[in-house]
Amino acid sequence: MAKKQTPKPTDSELEILQILWQNGASTVKAVNEKLNEKKETGYTTTLKMLQIMFEKNLVERDENERSHVYKALIKQNDIQKVLLDKLLETAFSGSATNLVMQALGNSQPSKEELKKIKELLNQIERDQR
């Protein structure tokens, strides 16, 4: 039996998924309000996007209330892994080193982030022994 692949959401779908991951199950109105904090998005556009995402099995819909409530069906970590794997292969020829060097060079990680990175590197080194 073939392994079920994690769907690859579009940028707009990913934006909606981020809202659902952060806020949990939400109505179309609640999602639309969050989208409008960044850019003007019509209610019907948000509704149509959620309907498409429902058809693609990216979200589930609770129809028990008058206002349908949508919930992400896929985990944030699963999508991050798929997108990172694609980025790693297409932009960095599979080189994790180049990806990490570029990411760290493009931003100013906080002391806390650097601490977590060091801990992760230490854990990887311990696991390889």
Which is higher by pLDDT, 94 or 1?
94
C-alpha triplet 70, 81, 62: angle, nearest 5°: 10
pTM of the model: 0.77
* pLDDT score for 1: 45
Instruction: Identify the H or E element spanning 27.
Output: strand 26-27
Which ranges of the chain would DSSP assign to H, the alpha helix? 11-23, 28-36, 43-55, 76-92, 96-106, 111-128
Q: How does residue 24 score in pLDDT terms, banded at 50, 70 and 90?
A: very high
Q: How does residue 58 score in pLDDT terms, banded at 50, 70 and 90?
A: very high
* pLDDT score for 36: 97
Question: Taking Cα atoms as reference points, which of 51, 56, 87 lies closest to residue 73?
Answer: 56
Residue intervals of the chain classified under CATH 1.10.10.10 are 11-72
Q: 69 and 61 in contact (C-beta within 8 Å)?
A: yes
* pLDDT score for 115: 93
The domain defined by 11-72 carries CATH number 1.10.10.10: yes
